[in-house]
Amino acid sequence: MADDYLVRIGKLIRTARQSRGWTQNHLAEALGTSQSAVNRIERGNQNISLEMIARISEALDSEIVSLGTGGPMHLRVSGGRQLSGSIDVKTSKNACVALLCATLLNSGRTVLRRVARIEEVFRILEVLASIGVRTRWINDGADLEVIPPADLDLDALDTEAARRTRSVIMFLGPLLHREERFKLPYAGGCDLGTRTVQPHMSALRHFGLDITATEGTYHCEVEPGITPDRAIVLTERGDTVTENALLAAARHDGISVIRNASSNYMVQDLCFFLEELGVRIEGVGTTTLTVHGIKHIDRDVDYSPSEDPVEAMSLLTAAVVTSSELTIRRVPLEFLEIELAVLEEMGLDHDRGPEYAADNGRTRLIDLTVRPSKLQAPIDKIHPMPFPGLNIDNVPFFAAIAASAQGSTLIHDWVYDNRAIYLTELTRLGAGVKLLDPHRVLVEGPTRWRETEMICPPALRPAVVVLLGMMAAEGTSVLRNVYVINRGYESLADRLNSVGARIETFRDI
Ligand SMILES: CC(=O)N[C@H]1[C@@H](OP(=O)(O)OP(=O)(O)OC[C@H]2O[C@@H](n3ccc(=O)[nH]c3=O)[C@H](O)[C@@H]2O)O[C@H](CO)[C@@H](O)[C@@H]1O
Ligand SMILES: C=C(OP(=O)(O)O)C(=O)O
């Protein structure tokens, strides 16, 4: 038994060392020992003390062993199984986090229905709780109740939780109405290269907000009496910058016009929610939003965020790569139409059920049945555009689909500095993915997927794409450290298991 543990610990150390790109010599040097000792440890042939494990963890900057349930979560995938039946799409991470930030506009009680129970939401809840907002899950954990205090305690803000999200940047819009001076930590989120906050700064300047960024902190000051005297033209059509401008405009006692606004799904959900708060918005779904703000908002509201188009795309991709017939229920059609048009051209056999309204009464949903199909690579490149275009977060899924199709597909992810690079991780599963430059990959299909063991790429969608490749591969694959997936997907493994996948969740020792 003890020997078995030594072998398992040795394997963990080897995986962590390799993922850092270190040789055994390199690690030996850091530990002040010999390469042969490291070799023995990695093979499980050496008794190893807790102190040594701690030193190795420190040297590799990786938690090798953890006890209890707090340690990193991993997935063991028995692949090559077809899926069947039907699966529901959950509410979207990106709308839920925007709405949670928006609750800071309201002195009343907010209830958000069927909020996705995902790590990104948990982090924002931790941040809200740290500054005095009362939040609790109600109705057997299905819904969330949020009650802000009269005064926020921003000095107590949980910076550690805040830094793990990108979404905390959306505190700027609401806070500028509540505080004259405040600090926020730099926004985190997926490791996708530089993600500028400049557009946020220039949009919010119209409301008197001045931000100086120093050593990991945004220092924010609000000059009273400054209000938009002309249209706010966003320098780029980003989703969160549009949301921040909307959040600021919602409590500006007057009319704000936002041009070059994103009309993406999370922005529309935020607009519907603001309307519930009594804010009138013209142009929802277009690139010009006219916002009739209200100085004080004090309403008890109840809102149901809509379903996640990116999760719908993920589930659709799971069906494609495993050649399965699967019904995906509650698909927000408007936000998946272009993806479906491209897939139709590629030969995807599918059926669309009749449209029905989401619980917010506004978003149009369908049930979508996908069948095993012989796909051909698309003639044109796959590239994203701000809505209405192929969704930026759906691009990585086309890499897995292209790998299952006949022919070569060019994927151009112009948006993020290094997300396309992560797609080359699919080569470890047998896919033909060639990096042409940091933004473009050429995928050669079809693929004979093969099992592998690897650490999750540090970006949500590429990580899920790797998981889906593992589901397609015969044999047992292991995906380590899946926090990044749990940031955006609720109980993904269990839900995929309910339609026939076999994915086991485990933690170190
Ligand atoms: C919490 C949340 O809602 N996150 C989403 C949001 O992030 P978010 O709105 O934060 O996205 P960013 O502001 O980071 O924009 C993404 C990237 O696109 C670039 N860019 C964007 C628009 C444009 O017109 N020109 C341009 O160059 C930005 O400079 C940036 O590099 O939108 C992204 C793009 O849909 C999604 O990947 C994220 O899931
Ligand atoms: C990039 C993403 O998220 P975030 O903006 O939260 O990092 C994503 O949802 O794929």
ipTM of the complex: 0.95
319: left (phi over 0), alpha (psi -120 to 50) or beta: alpha
Looking at the fold, whether 39 and 134 belong to one and the same domain comes out as no
One-character DSSP codes across 86-106: EEEPPBPHHHHHHHHHHGGGB
Indicate which residue's Cα is closest to atom 6 of ligand 1: 239
Nearest alpha-carbon partner for 104 in 156, 158, 157, 173: 173
Does 317 lie in the same domain as 204?
A: no
Closest by alpha carbon to 365, among 313, 306, 314, 316? 306
3-class DSSP assignment, residue 458: coil
Ligand 1, from 195, 266, 311, 464: best to mutate by most atoms within 8 Å of Cβ? 195
236 and 122 together in one domain: yes
Tell me what pLDDT residue 192 has. Answer: 55
Give the confidence band of 9 by pLDDT, cuts at 50, 70, 90.
confident
Distance CA 267, CA 272 (A): 9
The CATH number that applies at residue 416 is 3.65.10.10
Give the range among 80-89, 157-166, 259-268 with minimum mean pLDDT: 157-166
Binned at pLDDT 50, 70 and 90, residue 55 comes out as confident
Number of domains comprising the chain? 3
Do 250 and 191 belong together in one domain?
yes
> What is the average pLDDT score of the chain?
93
Identify the pLDDT of residue 58: 78
Rounded Cα gap, residues 230 and 159, in angstroms: 35
Residue 238 near ligand 2, beta carbon < 6 Å:
no
Which of the two residues, 248 and 71, has the higher pLDDT score? 248
**Ligand 1 touching residue 97 (CB < 6 A):** yes
Sheet bearing 407-412, strands edge to edge: 407-412, 440-445, 432-437
Tell whether 81 and 178 lie within a shared domain: no
pLDDT in tens, 66-107: 544 567 999 999 999 999 999 999 999 999 999 999 999 999
pLDDT confidence band for 465 (50 / 70 / 90)? very high
Q: How far apart are CA 344 and CA 199, in angstroms?
A: 36
Q: How far apart are CA 486 and CA 123, in angstroms?
A: 12
Tell me: the pLDDT tens digits for 376-389? 999 999 999 999 99
**65 occurs within a structural domain:** no
As a whole number, mean pLDDT of residues 365-369 equals 98
Q: Domain with 49 in it: what CATH number?
A: 1.10.260.40
- Confidence tier at 425 by pLDDT (50, 70, 90): very high
- Is ligand 1 within 6 A of the CB of residue 240? yes
Q: Whose CA is nearest to atom 21 of ligand 1?
A: 238
Same domain assignment for residues 177 and 322:
no
**Phi/psi of residue 145, nearest 5 degrees:** -110, 135
Q: Last residue of some domain: 252, 268, 303?
A: 303
Mean pLDDT for 5-12 is 81
- State residue 1's pLDDT score: 46
85 and 99 together in one domain: no
- The reported pLDDT for the residue numbered 337 is 97
Does one domain contain both 256 and 243?
yes
Range of the domain at 52: 2-60
pLDDT at residue 68, as a whole number = 47
Looking at the fold, whether 487 and 378 belong to one and the same domain comes out as yes
Extract the tokens encoding 131.
Answer: 């500054």
Q: What's residue 61's pLDDT?
A: 65
Residue 452: its pLDDT value, please? 97
